[in-house]
Structure formats: C-alpha cells, structure tokens
Chains A and B, each alone.
Chain A
C-alpha cells in the first residue's frame, strides 16, 4: 500500500494552507493551516457542516480563490500566487467543475454546453471540439440527447451533461460541489454510479457533500470542522452504486 502511494502522482498538495475572509470589523478564519494531499486516481469525499470550510477548500482547489497563507501545488505547479488570468488558464486546462445547481446554459444544446470549456482554449479547433464533446457525452450515456436543451432533460440527465462538461477538457481532477444536493435518492445513486465508473477509469475526483450515505461511495472521507481537518477515514467496504441502485424498490413504486 505504501509503495503504491509513493508511485502515485500527487495531483493536489497543500501545506499550511489558511484562508481568512476580512469582513471589515471581524476576520473569518475559514481554513486554519491545512495540510493534505490528493493522489492521482483517488476518490475523496470532503465532509462537513456548512461553515466548516469545505467549500472554501474546494474553491481554492478549483483555482476560483487563492489562499491567504500557505502553499498549494496543483499537478506539480505552485498555484498559490497566480493572477486572475493565470488562474483562469489553470481552471480551463486542469480542473473540471460539477455544481449542485448544474449551471447549464439555458436554451443551449447539451452538446454545446459540453463544448463550453474547449471554447476558451484557443488551441482547440472546431472539429476537435465537437468530437471531444460528443465522446464525453457518450461516456455519460447521453449520445441521443446531445441536441436537447437543458429544460428538456431530467435533473439526473442535466447533472450528467454537467459531468461531461467537467470532463471534456481532460482535467487532472474533477471537483464536485454537492452534486447530488438537488437530486432524489435514485438519481443521486445514478450520478454516484457515474462517478465510480469514471474513478474506475482512473479519474481523480474530489467531492464535497454533507450526506453521509453519499460519502460512503468514496474511498477516502475527510471530515472538516471549524476550518480544520477533524477526521480522515479510509472506507474499507466502499458502497457500490450499481448494487445500491438495484436494492432500491422499482421506479414506478416510488
């Protein structure tokens, strides 16, 4: 196990990371000297109540925010002090986001939604863009829905489009912020099934959630409390989303 760890590449590595929000009168310490790594191929669930600092950490991981103190290496590069444009470039090349509210562009086809990150990469031409978007849609099983608008898709389908969008730029890590928060149990499990399948293909995933039954699908659970890591668990018997789905009563009875 240890040998394996050393061989694996560190995708995310933070040391002594702090984030302080200056609200004028009071200073909010959202993160207090965090040290942690995420290795290639890991499926990590970040848990915690609201205000525990888990979302702040995800924002920093996703290059949407910069730490007040400490170092952050993403895919081997120090990104703690990048400017806005450099951060945008990092997000474009290395990160895939999945949001609770999907954030799909309305009245824009599923395919075009998936293409979006590639539009901001000048190295990718139109033909390649279409091809890659189509392939990623196939990965999440939505080939037949590529021309549909988000309002013609179910919640689960929309989240799958969002997952495809997060994958299309071939990121080093996929960051998901409460991806099942707006979904019912069955659809949540369906989404987790996709995550597990993607992780099986070697994709590194970090997932923020407050639902314990969702976190049990991930191999590694990190619990946050008051801006600190309070507990880290390696789940021995990871729940299999496909099996869990089969255990659910048939859909028409729900």
Chain B
C-alpha cells in the first residue's frame, strides 16, 4: 500500500471515471453561472454541454479560487489517516489558488510534523495537468516514493506542452487571463488565434491563423516541432475541448496518422467548468510531452 496520495483539483479536465480509475484525489473549484454558485465537480452537477450552451446564449460566468480553509478541510482527513500528500495545482499564472494551497500546507505541516505535504505549481492547466497526473500515477504504481515523484514533477512540468486555439477569443478577453488581446479577435475574418502556455504558466496568443482548418493543421505542425522525438513521439497525447468535439476528433485523427509511435490513442476530454468559464465554447487544446517551455 502506498503511504501517500496523489491529489489534483477539478481543473485537471479528466472524466470522473478516469480520475477514480487512476486513484487520484481532487479538490473542487466553485463557479458562478448567472450569479448562482455551483461546485466544479467534473461535470456532475452541471454537465459541460449545458454550461457552454448557456455561455453561447450570453450567460455570465465567474470562477472562485480555492481558499485556504477549503484546502485545510480537504487535506486534513488524508493526514489524519497517516497519508502524505502530493498535490498538483492549476498554474499560478492563472489563479491564486496555488498560493493558498501552499499556505494551507505550511499550517498543516506544523500540526502534522511527521507528514509530508508537497504542493506543486503545475504552471499548466486542464488536461495537461491531467496528463501530468496520469504519468505520476504510472510512477506511483511502479512503486516510486513520494519524494521521487515530487522531484520528477518539479523537474519535468515545463516539458508539458500546451498548444491550443479558440474560434472566439472574446470569452478569454472578458476573463482577463491572456497576455494580450489587441488585434487578436478578428472574428470578421474567421481568425482562430493559436495560443500556448509559457514558462510562467500564462496563456500567450502566438499567431493569428485564418480559418479553423488551417489552425488545426498548424497545431499538429507545432506538435511535430515541439514533441519529444518530433514525429517519433512515443508518449501520450491528450486533447481538451469546449463544445467542439468534431474538431477535437479531426485533430486526434491527424495526430494519430502523423505520430505512429504514439502511446495509445489520443484521449479526448471536455474542458470543465472552471477553465471553461474563461475559454467559453470553441477551444481545443493539445497537450503532450516535449521541449521545455523557455519563454
């Protein structure tokens, strides 16, 4: 039996079944839909499709970070049971939750001096964290210790690459979580901006690409450029999307054709409520292991 738990939060954007199967624990964010607060519990309370439909119709969304109290309440039972904790949080470049997690962990270490509590800033988001958690779960199952996992994830988290596009950047602009917005909208011309996550874990618009068809090709080209081993990439690839399943399928098919050594099929997930409140419908993100993010 492991003497530690692997923990993440509801921005991991994996299905509940997946999270359970990999024996991952998670803490929930909360979000507001037209002023009413809901738990982001991987789509159990409010199905993702319903959220995106509401957003398309102009619903107002807001997200709420996880505060120190919530972390204390969530971490404590594991510690009580004598388990150590490795918790991976949403990027500090997007949310203050990470800091609250660190503060909670510090308080708890005083109360439980024999326990180890590691809180990791993923500098990433969504199914990318999902892919990190999946890899950590593999290592745990292979019998590695919590310290080995902690140093590995700190060493490797910037090797997780995120490339994504949006057919409508206006939700991102409203949410205020992108580094620049001017001139990136281009809705009249059908521009789908190509973005990635930088080394500070922030969302950076990289290029304005005309039409969805082209941005899909471009995203696969970026994967060829940045994936470990290029076209010989043999790791896993996760896609997260918000209400554009068909496009996600198309990207997955292209990737499966272009990367013959891929480990398994591309896994397609739906972007959950917390991330989705800021992306709105129309985003697809490709996550894979590759070159370390440097800028």
**Do A and B originate from a single complex?**
no
A: residues with CB less than 8 A from B are none
B: residues with CB less than 8 A from A are none
